[in-house]
Amino acid sequence: MHTADWIIVALYFAYVLAEGFRHGKKNRNLDDYFRGKRSLRWWAVGLSIMATQASAITYIGTTGQAYDAGMSFIQVYLPQPLVMVVLCVTFVPFFYKANIFTAYEYLERRFDAKTRSLTSFIFLISRGLAVSFVLYAPSIILSVIFGWNEILTIMIMGISTIIYTTIGGNKAVILIDAKQMMLMFAGIFIAVALFIVQFPAQFSIADAVHLAGVEGKWNSIDLSLDLKSSYTLLSGMLGGFFLALSYFGCDQSQVQRYLTGRSLTESRMSLILNAFLKVPMQFLILAIGVLMFVSYHFIKPPLNFSPANQSVLSQKAGSEYAELEEKYDAAFQERREAALSLGRARETGNTESLVRAEQRYRRAEDSFREVKRENRELLKSVLGSEPSSDINYIFPSFLIHYAPTGILGIMLAVIFAAAMSSFSSEINSLASATIIDFYKRYFRPTANDAHYLLASRGATLFWGMFATAAACFAGRIGSLIEAVNKVGSYFYGPILGVFLLAFMVRRSNGNGAFFGLIAGEIAVFAVAYFSSISWLYYNVVGATVVLIAGALISMMRTARAS
């Protein structure tokens, strides 16, 4: 880190804190704090919706995922444009016209208080757990840069974000999100340029695309019908559709964004903006991971991206690890020469030369991967257990070693912006559900505005501290981008099922919704425990069981009453 990088990061933090304090002075009541008086423009709301989802996990976890497994994760995002259209026609009009603070208020009006409370409680648990991953991601960056303990960096990030969110409220969060999202878009193109400049002069972008294709990194569509596989067209279009419909339609962290729109039309336009931009943005971020994979053919990647794993092996494996590093150096050099040879063969246009070059490259790549496998086995024997994945360290490691002065500061600001936009939005939404669905509903239904505003800030502070504490354990899970979606998939399906029951089954009632929701959660956990189907299908199972069980229980209740 040079002085210029420090200045850029410091200016970024100063700006978001100042904005939080500036908007915080204007908050007088719950409508100010949680809905910004429904006065925000569609573009700001739309960018905030994107920023809430595009956390630092997107930059760190998704790029690492693409580096390791290619573009297949894009299949999860393919149904999102369709989801946005469905939401504009169904969920958004219901919520906006109801003039509610939380999505779960609607359930009491449609069913009863117990259904509202249970659904809101499940949201609090699921989002309270998932938000910890959002905070953990940037701590990887700081720990790599400064050599700090990850728990210390989590505390620093958490506290700074909690301050401006607690004071500023939802309007500050959304307006800051919009600017942070613009910074994130800039960061995508900067990252692409960073990787391309690592290519040798004689190695073109077309060569890079071909090399990645030889390794299957561009294979984004898998037509397999295997339910155990998470990244297929079926799992993406079916499981991903249910996941996105629940997240954008029923998760308070998203619903609270478009409840602030100045009109129903503007709330709809905010989602249409996402329909146009989300998939291309996700494609570019995944492409960053693929380009990073190609770049590491010409700049030697560390044998262990995780500094902790590197340190353990250096201290405890001694000479055995030193021999492995020598073997790794030789494998890297062979792979580098094979990659350059592949580029030269492609330029000649000679099919036989190209085939031979591809075969040579595949042999070199296999040897390289074999050394990586031996490294992991050695690490496993030293630790005495399965080592944690270092996939989340790949992108940060590149930035630290190869980003030029000034650019490093900008990219760090991008990652902090991604983390803080999601973290602030989510703890604000957790606070709104806590205050509106529980505190105001059951404990203090008639307090004054000053009291509710103070309680709201207290709830934001509580959830921020809870998420910060939970983040200290998030690093024990593998790919962050997969982990955060997997956690949500235990709960999103049943929550979606309750709302679909409300919208689609006219004769459904409170008992049907309440016990159907319980049945849906039991079904999800049973499928997760007793079967090996992909976590994406948990969303389908949960929603379907709630719909069927809720409709049947409602019919039984109606028949008994008659």
Secondary structure, 3-state, 43-72: HHHHHHHHHHHCCHHHHHHHHHHHHHHHHH
> For tokens 């042999």, what's the residue?
363
Q: How far apart are alpha carbons 42 and 266 in whole angstroms?
A: 5
Q: Which residues on adjacent β-strands are paired with residue 40?
A: 261
CA-nearest of 377, 342, 343, 373 to 360 is 342
CA-nearest of 238, 246, 278, 289 to 534 is 238
SS3 261: strand
Q: Which residues on adjacent β-strands are paired with residue 271?
A: none
In terms of Cβ atoms closer than 10 Å to its own Cβ (0-12, 13-18, 19+), residue 2 is exposed
Instruction: Output the DSSP codes for 175-199.
Output: HHHHHHHHHHHHHHHHHHHHHHTTS
Radius of gyration from C-alpha coordinates of the chain:
25
CA-nearest of 399, 388, 424, 391 to 135 is 424
Q: How far apart are alpha carbons 425 and 531 in whole angstroms?
A: 34
Q: How far apart are alpha carbons 330 and 343 in whole angstroms?
A: 20
SS3 505: coil
Across 70-168, where does the E strand assignment appear? none
3-state SS of the chain: helix, strand, coil percent to 5? 80, 0, 20
Cβ neighbour number for residue 389 with a 10 Å cutoff: 21
Maximum Cα–Cα distance across the chain: 82
CA-nearest of 423, 407, 404 to 56 is 423
What six digits make up the tokens of 288? 């960053």
Give the global pTM: 0.79
Q: How far apart are alpha carbons 359 and 338 in whole angstroms?
A: 9
Q: How far apart are alpha carbons 359 and 342 in whole angstroms?
A: 9
What six digits make up the tokens of 98? 């109801």
SS3 546: helix
What six digits make up the tokens of 91? 């969920």
Q: How far apart are alpha carbons 522 and 528 in whole angstroms?
A: 10
Q: What is the pLDDT along the chain (562 residues), one digit of tens a residue?
A: 678 878 888 888 888 878 777 777 777 778 777 877 777 888 888 888 777 766 666 777 778 778 877 788 788 888 888 999 999 988 888 888 888 888 899 999 999 999 999 999 999 988 887 777 777 767 766 666 666 677 777 887 788 788 888 887 777 778 887 887 888 888 888 888 888 888 888 888 888 888 888 888 887 777 888 888 777 888 888 888 988 898 888 888 888 888 888 888 988 998 888 888 888 888 888 888 888 888 988 988 888 887 777 888 888 877 888 888 889 999 999 999 998 888 888 888 788 888 888 899 899 989 998 988 888 888 888 887 777 667 777 887 788 788 888 888 887 777 777 777 778 888 888 999 999 999 999 999 888 888 988 999 899 999 988 888 877 765 544 445 556 667 778 888 999 999 999 988 888 999 999 999 999 999 999 998 898 888 888 899 999 999 999 999 988 865 555 4
Instruction: Output the DSSP codes for 360-382.
Output: HHHHHHHHHHHHHHHHHHHHHHH
At 312, the amino acid letter reads: V
In contact, 496 and 250? CB cutoff 8 Å: yes
Helices and strands, counts by H and E, the chain: 25, 0
Cβ neighbour number for residue 504 with a 10 Å cutoff: 11
Q: How far apart are alpha carbons 354 and 344 in whole angstroms?
A: 9
In contact, 479 and 389? CB cutoff 8 Å: yes
Q: How far apart are alpha carbons 544 and 527 in whole angstroms?
A: 13
CA-nearest of 257, 274, 98, 430 to 439 is 430
In contact, 471 and 136? CB cutoff 8 Å: yes
